[in-house]
Amino acid sequence: MKMRLASLAMLATSAAALTAFSAPSAQAWTDAKPLFGVIPANVPWHAATDKAVRSRKPAAQISQWNGSFVDLHNANRTFTMIGPNPSTSNATTTIPFEVVPVVFTYTTFGNKVFDPSIDTYSNGQTVLANFIASPLVQSVVDFKSGGVDLGTTQYIDAYQRGNFWGKRVKRNTNYHVVLGSPTVLPALNISVGAGQGVVETNPFGTQQVGTYGFGAMDTQINSYIHSHNQITADQFVFFVSHNIFLTSGGCCIGGYHTATSSQPGGQTYGYTTLVTEAGSFSQDVSAASHEIGEWMDDPFTDNRVGCNDNSILENGDPLEGRSNYGAFKYTVNGFTYNLQDLVYLGYFGAPRRTSVKQLLSFNQLEQGVCPGQ
C-alpha cells in the first residue's frame, strides 16, 4: 500500500489551511496507518524563513553534488544529493549537525508533557540521549550489505557507500559522508490547545501519545529557524519529539524532511518522532533513519523519478510497510535500535551495477524495481 501522505499537490494548499487543523477525537484513529509526509521546498510560507537564513551567511550551502542516471525507460533522471560525488571523492565529509528537542504540552489534557530531554526509555536513558548515542549519529556498528563490509560508521553513511559501491566507492575506501557531533539547540516548546491535538493510546501500542497537525508543525519549525541565528544553510537541523504523531486528515505521520528553498542554498531540515514503545511504528530511531536517509538522497525533495508509487527519489517509502515497518535490529551498548532498510538507486531504474552486489536495498528487503520501471 502506498503510505505517502502528502504530495506535490500541497503546493496549491495555503499555509493557513495547513495550520488550521482541527483534531478529531481520540476514537477517530481506528484506521491509523504508518505514514511519512512531504512538504515541497518552495511552498509560500518557506520564503520568509529562507530570506532570514540567507541573510545570516549569504554564500552558505550544504555540501552537495549533482548526478544523473538513465532509467529503464531511457529517461535521464537528474538528482542532487548530500556530500561530494562518490566517483571523485576519497575523503570524509562531515556535515554540521544541529538537533532541536521539541517539547509538547497538552493544556486540555491535564498539561501532559512529552519532552525528549526528560522522558526515558526502560533502561533509564533519555529519549534525546538515546538518539544521539544511536548508529545514526555514532560510528558504532560495522555495517554490511549483502555480506560486503561497508565499514564501522554511521548507518546512513554505510547505506550511501553501498548505494554507490559500483561508482568507485569500492576503490575510494575513504569516501564517507557523516553527520558531525551534534549541537543541541534550545528546545522548541509547543503548547497544544483545544482542537489542535489530543493525548490518546498509541494506535500501534499501549503507551500514551500526542497528536499535532502536520502543517502546524512545519509552521512552528519555520518560526524556530527564522528566530535562531545560529542555524545556517551549510548545516542540517533535525527536530525530534517523543511519542508524537503528526496528522493531516488521518494519523499517523512519523516524520518528514524538506528545505526552505531549492538547491543549492536552501536550508535543509527534518523532523521525526522517537517512540519509546518497542514494536510501535516510529520505535526508537526507525522513523529517524527513514528521514535522514531520504534527506541524504533527496535533500530538496525535488529529485524526480519515473515510479508509479513515488514521484520523487524517497528511498525509505518503498519499505515502510514491511514487517517491523521495514526496520532491522542493531544492538549497541545493551540497547536494541531499529534502523529502517532503504532502497538503493537501482530501485528507481538506475543501472543495478551502481550498488553493492547489484542489490536493490541495504538489507535486501526489496527484490524488484519500482512500479512503472
User: How confident is the model at residue 123, as a pLDDT?
Assistant: 87
Report the half-sphere exposure of 157 (CA within 13 A, side-chain side).
Answer: 29
Count the neighbouring beta carbons within 10 Å of the beta carbon of residue 312.
22
Count the neighbouring beta carbons within 10 Å of the beta carbon of residue 140.
16
Q: Which of 37, 56, 66, 52 minimizes the C-alpha distance to 263?
A: 66
User: How confident is the model at residue 70, as a pLDDT?
Assistant: 98
User: How confident is the model at residue 21, as a pLDDT?
Assistant: 34
Q: Distance between CA 267 and CA 261 in Å, rounded?
A: 7
Report the half-sphere exposure of 363 (CA within 13 A, side-chain side).
Answer: 19
Q: Are 131 and 151 in contact (CB under 8 A)?
A: no
User: How confident is the model at residue 129, as a pLDDT?
Assistant: 98
Q: Which of 160, 137, 139, 182 minimizes the C-alpha distance to 65?
A: 160
Residue ranges, the chain, pLDDT below 50: 1-27
Q: Distance between CA 119 and CA 144 in Å, rounded?
A: 33
User: How confident is the model at residue 182, as a pLDDT?
Assistant: 98
- Mapped onto helix, strand or coil, the DSSP state of residue 10 is helix
Q: Which of 281, 184, 273, 188 minimizes the C-alpha distance to 227?
A: 188
User: How confident is the model at residue 7, as a pLDDT?
Assistant: 37
Q: Which of 179, 214, 143, 167 minimizes the C-alpha distance to 63?
A: 179
Q: What is the CA radius of gyration of the chain?
A: 19
Return the bridge partners of 270, or none: 238, 257
Cell triple for 100:
532541536
pLDDT in tens, 77-86: 999 999 999 9
